Homo-oligomer: A and B are copies of this chain.
Amino acid sequence: MALPEDQRAIEAVLLCAVEPVPPQLLAELLELPVERVTEACEALARGYESDGRGFTLSFVAGGYRYQTHPEMAPFVERFAMEGVSSRLSSAALETLAIVAYKQPVSRAQIAALRGVNVDGVVRLLHQRGYITPVGQAPGPGQPVLYGTTAAFLEKLGLGSLADLPPVEDLLPGGEIMEQLEERLRPSPDA
C-alpha cells in the first residue's frame, strides 16, 4: 500500500525542517487546503504510532516536527545538546504556571498571589525565554505585563496554549476544599 502523495511530501519537508513547520506553510508548499494538510499529518502521526516507530510526528509550538519517541530516550541521550536541560525550581514552575494561565499578568499580580517577591523568578524565566513582556497595564506606573513564549510551548512539548491542562482539573478536590472552608469558617462564638 503506497503512501498518498501529500503524506509523502509532508514527510520529505518535515525531514529537512529545523523548526516546527506551521500547517499554513505546509499547505502553501503543497498547494492544498490547511485542513487537508492537518488531516494528512494526523494520519502520518497515527501510522508511526501504530507501526511502533522510533520517532513521532508531533505538533509542538504551533507547527509539526519529527522527534524521537520518548521510549527511545536511552539510545539518543548522547545526541542531546548541552546547555538546554537546566531544571526549573518549584518556585519557578509555579510562577510559570501563573503566567501561563493568567496571561497577560504583571509581576505585582504574581507576587500578590504567591505572597512573596517574585522579581528574581520572573527575571530568570524571562532570561530563559519562557516568558516575555507582552504589553503594559494602564494605570499608575504602567506595569509590564508578561505572557508565555513559543520556547515555553517547546519546553513543555505543547502545540499551543490550548493544550494546557484545563484549570478545572487542577483545582483542589472538593474534599480538601470543604475541609479548608470548614476550618476557616469563624467558630460560632466568634
Contact = CB atoms under 8 A, between A and B. Distances in A.
A8 B53 contact: yes
Per assembly, the copies of the chain total 2
Contacts of A84: 108, 111, 117, 119
A55 B19 contact: no
Interface string A82-107: 11111111001000000000000011
Interface string A60-75: 0000001111011001
* Number of chain A interface residues as a range: 35 or more
Contact of A127 (B19, B55, B112, B117): B112
Interface in A41-69: 51-55, 66-69
B76 A12 contact: yes
Interface string A152-176: 0010000000000000000000000
A10 B53 CA distance: 10
